[in-house]
Amino acid sequence: MARMIPSIWPHETLSSAERRLYNALEEQLDDDFTVIHSLPWLDETRKIFQQGECDFLVLHPEHGLLVLEAKSGGVNYDGPSRTWLRPGGGRLNKDPFLQAQESVHHFNRLLRREVSGWSQSNPPFGYAVVFPEADQILGRLPPHVTPQLIIAEPDMDCLQDRMVSLLQHFRKPKSRMSGDVYRAAIERLLPEFQIVRSLSSQLDDQERGLARLTAEQIRLLEAMDGNLRLLVEGCAGSGKTLLALEKSMRLAHEGKRVLLLCFNIPLADWLRKRVGEAGLPIDVFHFHGLCEHVVRATGGTFEVPADAGSSFWEEEAADMLSQSLPGFAKRYDAVIVDEGQDFCAHWWIPIEELLENPDEGQLYIFHDPEQNIFNRENGFPFASPNLRLRVNCRNTHQIASFVNEMAGLQSRPADFCVPGSEPVEHVVASDEEELQEASRTLQELVEVEKVDPQRIVIIGRRRLENSPYAGATLLDGLRIASEVDAIADGAAIRYATIYRFKGLEADCAVLTGFRRPADGIPSRELYVAASRAKMLLHVMYRE
């Protein structure tokens, strides 16, 4: 019995001739035959596409390739007009013999071109038109048709002999093709394929969805206008930085002198770049950058000790700022602070002194108490009014849920956030095992999914030189570099500590140096690190 493709008659096909021929081929042909029903084709090798469809393609490793067109009832041919007519009236769209001829030549060219060994086997190939319900030929046939090309009702009980004989009229077989060539031919005629979106493309779509304000945040911006002091508390991913930036730019458009502050140097760099692109006169500093700027602007010296510890960064730098402010002429109408949870309580004194009129100037503080990884006593200069952002509009639904679990929060993803991939948690026992696992993950992202390395960040608890990646600046061909070096090298993957990358975000993040938290016990560091990933998250847990 022949191998039929499809293996069951497709009931949506209404042609009685095709159904009868399908059944006869299945019952009469031996096991070496493969029969493909209803195979469309398109020839793209010509200037204008040529397309067609054959009712049946029959393939045999020795006898070759045969295309069959099946017609119900009979046909009439009118020579002067060269038209084919149905007995009951109506014109056929195509000459069935030329249609079959075009199909078999197309498939033979395709197999010669794309199947190794087909040309060497050089099997016979031919065509015929089958009329399972007609039993007579009346009149003379046109020059391009011979009786051998017509398989009629009397032939339906001896199809295999009839088809083998017909193919020998086209060419006698030289030899039997190998099983490999035969299988390759069938696979080429019936390939499996997928049209997929690369991960990089999906990330682009998700980026467009996430980089916008929610309706709640827009209302919040409008509500801010009537407040000279405002605390804005929001979970990771709630858009605090975006809101702080937007509010700063709106105030600048109103002609106000604006100071935009944050804690992290990389975040200050990012904010400064955005402000520069907008062409607005907003001063942007991280807190210690502000200290240095004011001290130097007033003729002082700002030297960071080689062994600078928390006492310098938390106490001495702020003291130098306070001492220099009387000689610093510039003041602001509004000060907007992001990452307020990282500011020490006594820093707010010099910050408020930077307002032109402390009673009428605006001071907005954006903060997230769950991101206070330095465990500082914030001591904000006021306690109200206090607005809360409860919607996560940075992360996909899956990452937002993971982040909430890490902090024991109940914030919800924004309604427009698209579904993404579940965070992948890897458990590794050693540095070597982590590097192997990270290499597989990064190779998949960069080489297979075509994600730009600049969209990926490795976030660790330790500096690069103290991490498992210290000696792996080349990880199976992928370069791992510090933040500064990665900016200069567009093909490198960034490595940053959680403390440096806090306040920033990346499309894909790989976390390293963390231990899986015990059930029910929040992990503030893991919460902060995981929330940096907008769309893809991998966590390397150490056993």
pLDDT in tens, 357-403: 988 899 999 998 888 778 787 789 998 888 888 777 777 778 888 88
CB 213 within 8 A of CB 243: yes
Looking at domain 213-392, its CATH superfamily turns out to be P-loop containing nucleotide triphosphate hydrolases (3.40.50.300)
Return the pLDDT at 473.
64
**What is the predicted pLDDT for the residue at 22?**
93
Q: Are 47 and 101 in contact (CB under 8 A)?
A: no
> Could you tell me what percent of the chain has a pLDDT over 90?
48
**Which pLDDT does position 478 carry in this prediction?**
83
Domain boundaries, the chain: 3-189, 213-392, 413-542
What's the average model confidence in pLDDT over 212-233?
74
The per-residue pLDDT for 210 is: 46
Residue 7 pLDDT level (bands cut at 50, 70, 90): confident
Residue 328 has what pLDDT?
96
According to DSSP, residue 469 is labeled: T
Q: What is the mean pLDDT of residues 8-29?
A: 89
Domains 213-392 and 413-542 are alike in CATH topology: yes
Residues 31-49: pLDDT tens digits?
A: 999 999 999 999 988 888 9
Band (pLDDT 50/70/90 cuts) for residue 520 is low
**Does 413-542 carry CATH code 3.40.50.300?**
yes
**521-531 CB burial, b ≥16 within 10 A, e <16:** eebbbbbbbbb
Residue 327, pLDDT above cutoff 90: yes
Other Cβ atoms closer than 10 A to 311: 10
Least confident residue range of 69-78, 105-114, 118-127, 495-504: 495-504
The reported pLDDT for the residue numbered 365 is: 95
For tokens 């306070």, name the residue.
322
324 has pLDDT over 90: yes
What per-residue confidence (pLDDT) applies to 258? 98
Q: Which residue has the higher pLDDT, 483 or 212?
A: 483
Tell me the pLDDT band of 211, cut-offs 50, 70 and 90. very low
The strand ranges marked E within 394-505 are 412-413, 424-428, 456-460, 474-475, 478-482, 493-497
